[in-house]
Structure 1
Amino acid sequence: MLLFLLLTLQTSAAVGQIDPGHCRFPLGLEDGRVKDEDISASSKWYQTTGPQFARLNREDGDGAWCPEGQLERSDSQYLQVDLKVLTFLTLVGTQGRYARGLGKEFARAYRLSYSRDGETWKPWKNRQGNAVIEGNKNTYAIVYKELHPSIIARYVRLIPVTEHSSTVCMRVELYGCPWHDGLISYSAPEGQLMMPPAYPPASLNDSIYDGTHERRPLFGGLGQLTDGVVGQDDFLLTHEKQVWSGYDYLGWRNDSLGTQGYVEMEFVFDRQRNFTSMKVHSNNLFTRGVKIFSSVSCWFKPRLIANWELEAVTFRTVLDDRNPSARYVTVPLYQRTAKALRCRFYFADVWMMFSEVSFQSGGNLPLSLLYFPAAAPSANDTTEGTNTPILIGCLVTIILLLVVIIFLILWCQCVCKVLEKAPRQILDEEVTIRLSSCSDTIIMQTPPVPPRAGHAPTGRGPRAACGGGYAEPDVTQCTPHQSFHSNAPHYAETDIIRLQGVTGSNMYAVPALTVDSLTRKDISAAEFPRQQLIFREKLGEGQFGEVHLCEAEGLPEFLGEGSPLPDRDGRPVLVAVKQLRADATLQARNDFLKEIKIMSRLDDPNIIRLLCVCVSSDPLCMVTEYMENGDLNMFLSQREIESTLTHANSIPSVSLSDLLHMAVQISSGMKYLASLNFVHRDLATRNCLVDRRLTIKIADFGMSRNLYSSDYYRIQGRAVLPIRWMAWESILLGKFTTASDVWAFGVTLWEIFTLCKEQPYSLLSDEQVIENTGEFFRNQGRQIFLYSPPLCPPSLFDLMMRCWSRNITDRPAFDGIHQSLRRHVRE
């Protein structure tokens, strides 16, 4: 079976090109995989005819999306769908508004536009240049329309078209499959015209290219090289009707490009990728002066703003003067990492012609093994019809997928056994790693510590739970008979409980003490009248609760003298309210009360404080401080560094001294947490709040906010980890300590001095970030560090680099970090 699987994978990889005839899977409007928030529109008639109701075969709301008012011929009302990933779109299905027999509106025609980045929109046209697609003739029947050519996009807009003023409503489904190549544009010389008498007439231009022409070259788009249509052996023959000879190929004549003897093309991708190979479908009709390229040289660019790397990959082809068949030529790229490629294809004869180009990068399985929902009907099918070839293809795909799953399960079991039997030496202590099946929490086990004089042998060390939120105390470095420092208590593993916060993601390692018997009577925070909390907006939500932004009427008077609230100048007091859902489990309710007790212990000017609670009745609430300028990430990302230009144009700005002041405050707050042996585990600018005086307070509910969902890596659909801020030992070993908080502080400092304009390691995928932590562990000089921000003084970047030291003992303590940053402020 394993041999069959390997042969199957190799065969699939050898084809490696999307087939529009089989890439016809529903993309999720009908079944709800496309969420309501990812469907928008230029307008809507009523709330009940909003864009979220534009789902094929669904009768929710009033039965469809309807733009506001009568649609005129000149209108450009649209329904927009965000597919979240680059997608190869081949088919569109549309319906009118049936509304259980009461509807009478439908679109007789429509146009499409699409975008790969959400900014540049491109109109779709068929191969004959027509942009209008025939729509529906009644309110109930589904009309499927093939897209020739197909579309590669993330965002799609459907624009209803009408000849006369009328009301229009639509329900839709899109069909296609993920575009795993990740290619978002290629640039090349424009194709040329083959002229008689030496050659038969053929136009070898890229007629469907959706980029721009700058002095004739193709630039910034995709076209026939990515349409999935492979050219035939005779380049004069075409797959399409009513097109000209040579239509399927993009071709160039050697002598028309000067004396260089090559065609240069550039390829740009959605993200940095680790390339294994490039496949070029090339014509080889040598009897007419056409051959595959003799050789190719490719250069790589890790970032679009970087220079091309000097070292190129060169590949020489084996020329074939006996077989005139067109063929794929596979060019090995040797795991080179880049976001853009520049390749020079050298002529072997008078003409060179390509019909398709595709790329394979590390970790990408063939399409047939990655995507397998039910196939869509063809454009000629009725709603009751079936498509036998596609059904057979789906069944074969499912069988192959099952084989792959079985193989992966067996392989994982084998690897896990090897890991369990092969302890490694890490940081001078042996550890074994396993993944808890019940909670997706990484569990670290340390071996027994040799007994000292007068002490009994010690047991296993305590667990380190993963996730955001504070942890108390920092016991992952302690044994049951060794405290973290002289006056810190010590706890055996049985004394540590795991606590899940109100948002469903925060995890705490909390000393049990008497907290297991905690009741509402044990809470020292004052009970605040909940009717005086005025809801303003939802900040975030989790599995068991929500975080709301509220105004608290009369809160300063309620707290009395010594209130931690600053002078509000008569303005309403903004607070963050963590609220437990009424249907939360008993365990969640107990954890909520424990979280209140933890928060009540924190008292520092740079830490968000618990102000009061509402626990006398359901729903349980805790009220904490909130800052009017929101979180630091949003605050800085909307500003520029202070200059004459920003003053002249009234652009919101901050100065370098402001940034240093913010860094000092964050280090002060973390110094306080470290003094209590609390571990934050999710330190980042999104978890720092800012007031109008640029005071910073560290919070812990950034993980619950949808705005920052992309900052967290999801494990098996449940646990989420801020891997771009985490130390290598936290990712690989589940080991969270004050030293791992220091690592996260270094990343936070980097965010501050880039004004939060980009995500850390923005050119790496989540999987590549995890791979990079393995390089930190191996420590062979191949690990990738964050670059030095232009605004950052060299001495501060040195501090960041020390925060990212591979060895825990080499990282500075927060006390030293705070003193170092204060010296920078004084300078």
Structure 2
Amino acid sequence: MCRQHRVPVALLLCAACWTAPAAALNLGQCDQSLGMESGEIADSQITASSSHNENSVGPHSGRIRTEHRGGAWCPLPVITAEVREYLQVDLGRVTVVTAAETQGRFGNGRGVEWAERYSLQYWRPGTGWRTYRNASGHTLLDGNVNSYLAHKTPLDPPMMASKVRLVPRSEHPRTVCLRAELHGCPYTDGIDSYSMDLPDPKWPDLTYDGVRSAEIMEKGLGQLADGRAGTNDITRPEWVGWQRRPGQLVNITFRFSSLRELETASFHVSNRFTAGVKLFSLAALFFSLDGQQYTESAVTLAPEPDRIFEDSRLLEVSLHRQVARFVRIQLTAADSWLLISEIGFSSAVGASLLAAVGAGCWQQWVLACWQRWVLALVVVGASLLAAVGAGLLAAELRLNMQLAAGPGYARAHGDTYGPLPADEDKVGLCGEPYRVVRLNADYDTAGQRGLRGRTPG
């Protein structure tokens, strides 16, 4: 018995725009060279405010450990406390930058210029240019002490940026030249920004780069999404804290750069109960496609109170693949203080076409998914061709078997009523038509020449 197999086209196309979930940011695996030295960053992605000579010491010469033309990028004016020249690197997409590395101009032994100190500026979609500030509040980074040794400065916290500017600094007039590399990894969390109730000054969000008011912080990223989990020492700057009475709420809203299919949410929290710091008693998470209308029912997490161990800990809740671009979190305080160092999500891009259409994000969805659609269509087409080819092969094999069914005639499968009329049209069980024809009477059913009705001489 033959069977017709249907290709699950809807399943393939629906899965075409789903990617494997990305876990929350892991800084332990985020120190890759981003492409200045290797050339992965093209010359067109490297620009500068000015150059002393565009051809010899232009921005394209600012690649670390590379002796290209003049040997480094050199700005036109002498650097002073008031002059702000920069070398700009376009990373092409939002990237986690965890370190900056600089080097002076060696120039095959002729160079004597380097930057003793520098600052960083960064930009990403939805924000203007910001000056990087480390966890200690400093903006100036140590540069080089000679023209040939490279110096790498870890960035604590890291910065999320699409474009980075290295700005040489000097308190006294100085001719400066610079080569650079950036280190980090792709930013896969997809968090565009978060807004929250203003933390207490005792535990502020020191690196938040959004807008601050008297009651709220919004449209920025900071310590809650920088990949750094706080230790048991609550005096460390990794912690962000709110003072509340038991039962009062802390509100935090996360916005993603596109629709996400959310698998889990995690909270790194302190439980130093002897200092009035406890785990939240309840976390309620609401979801929205447009930031206006949120789900009425919430996904909740209610951790058991712990009056024995004061260790900080990671709390995780399943979000059941909820599709959303906005997540509103309401945390209920259990004591005088609520301290959090990190909130992360395991999520994937583009889970559902229906959700994208419902959110009015059709164009964005298509742009993000067209390559996977093409791949899925190729797979579907190949499957259909394979199915058609298999059907034709099966029909041919069946017809060959029928042609050998009896002496002198081709018979249809299951025909038990004697010879069939010549040239009779038949239809097989799978719907493929074939024509029954009378065979040459001089051939037997095995296809060997013989004599029918005669006695061999």
- TM-score scaled by structure 1? 0.39
Taking structure 1 as reference, are residues 363 and 132 closer, same or farther at Cα in structure 2, changes over 3 Å only? Answer: same
1:75 matches 2:83: yes
1:165 matches 2:164: no
2:186 equivalent in structure 1: 178
In the TM superposition, what is the alpha-carbon distance from 1:15 to its structure 2 partner? 12
1:27 matches 2:34: yes
Q: Distance in 2 between matches of 1:772 and 1:183?
A: 30
1:42 equivalent in structure 2: 49
Taking structure 1 as reference, are residues 192 and 333 closer, same or farther at Cα in structure 2, changes over 3 Å only? Answer: same
1:215 equivalent in structure 2: 214
Give matches, 1:662-811, under 5 Å.
761=366, 767=372
Give matches, 1:156-305, under 5 Å.
156-192=164-200, 203-235=202-234, 245=235, 247-255=237-245, 261-303=248-290
Taking structure 1 as reference, are residues 208 and 769 closer, same or farther at Cα in structure 2, changes over 3 Å only? Answer: farther
In the TM superposition, what is the alpha-carbon distance from 1:36 to its structure 2 partner? 1.4
In the TM superposition, what is the alpha-carbon distance from 1:347 to its structure 2 partner? 2.0
Q: Distance in 2 between matches of 1:181 and 1:325?
A: 26
Query: Percent sequence identity over matched residues?
Result: 34
Taking structure 1 as reference, are residues 346 and 225 closer, same or farther at Cα in structure 2, changes over 3 Å only? Answer: same
Q: Distance in 2 between matches of 1:164 and 1:355?
A: 40
Give the one of 343, 357, 360 matched to 1:357.
343
Cα deviation, 1:222-281, whole Å, max 9, x if unaligned, reads: 22222333222342xxxxxxxxx25331112223xxx97211101112222111111110
Identify, as 1 or 2, the structure richer in helix: 1
1:62 equivalent in structure 2: 70
Q: Distance in 2 between matches of 1:145 and 1:758?
A: 40
1:154 equivalent in structure 2: 162
Give the one of 96, 108, 130 matched to 1:122.
130
The answer as to whether partners of 1:335 and 1:362 remain within 8 angstroms in 2 is no
Taking structure 1 as reference, are residues 768 and 337 closer, same or farther at Cα in structure 2, changes over 3 Å only? Answer: farther
Corresponding letter in the other structure for 2:238: D
Taking structure 1 as reference, are residues 310 and 61 closer, same or farther at Cα in structure 2, changes over 3 Å only? Answer: farther
Taking structure 1 as reference, are residues 324 and 128 closer, same or farther at Cα in structure 2, changes over 3 Å only? Answer: closer
What secondary structure is seen at the aligned counterpart in 2 of 1:322? coil
Q: Which has the higher contact order (CA 8 A, sep 6+)?
A: 2
Taking structure 1 as reference, are residues 48 and 302 closer, same or farther at Cα in structure 2, changes over 3 Å only? Answer: farther
For the aligned residue pairs, the C-alpha RMSD in angstroms reads: 3.1
1:716 equivalent in structure 2: none
1:105 matches 2:95: no
Q: Distance in 2 between matches of 1:143 and 1:88?
A: 19
Taking structure 1 as reference, are residues 295 and 34 closer, same or farther at Cα in structure 2, changes over 3 Å only? Answer: same
Q: Distance in 2 between matches of 1:118 and 1:99?
A: 40
In the TM superposition, what is the alpha-carbon distance from 1:32 to its structure 2 partner? 1.0
Corresponding letter in the other structure for 2:81: R
The size of the alignment, in residue pairs, is: 349
Q: Distance in 2 between matches of 1:119 and 1:68?
A: 29
Q: Distance in 1 between matches of 2:260 and 2:21?
A: 19
Identify, as 1 or 2, the structure richer in strand: 2
Q: Distance in 2 between matches of 1:69 and 1:247?
A: 38
The answer as to whether partners of 1:108 and 1:162 remain within 8 angstroms in 2 is yes
What secondary structure is seen at the aligned counterpart in 1 of 2:44? helix
Cα deviation, 1:654-708, whole Å, max 9, x if unaligned, reads: xxxxxxxxxxxxxxxxxxxxxxxxxxxxxxxxxxxxxxxxxxxxxxxxxxxxxxx
- Runs ≥4 residues deviating over 6 A: 768-774
Taking structure 1 as reference, are residues 45 and 171 closer, same or farther at Cα in structure 2, changes over 3 Å only? Answer: same
What secondary structure is seen at the aligned counterpart in 2 of 1:761? helix
The answer as to whether partners of 1:234 and 1:285 remain within 8 angstroms in 2 is no
What secondary structure is seen at the aligned counterpart in 2 of 1:90? strand
Q: Distance in 2 between matches of 1:230 and 1:300?
A: 25
The answer as to whether partners of 2:21 and 2:346 remain within 8 angstroms in 1 is no
Corresponding letter in the other structure for 1:319: P
Q: Distance in 1 between matches of 2:307 and 2:284?
A: 23
| Structure 1, unaligned runs of 5 or more | 1-12, 194-202, 236-244, 365-756, 775-827
Cα deviation, 1:56-82, whole Å, max 9, x if unaligned, reads: 101112111122233343122111111
Cα deviation, 1:620-653, whole Å, max 9, x if unaligned, reads: xxxxxxxxxxxxxxxxxxxxxxxxxxxxxxxxxx
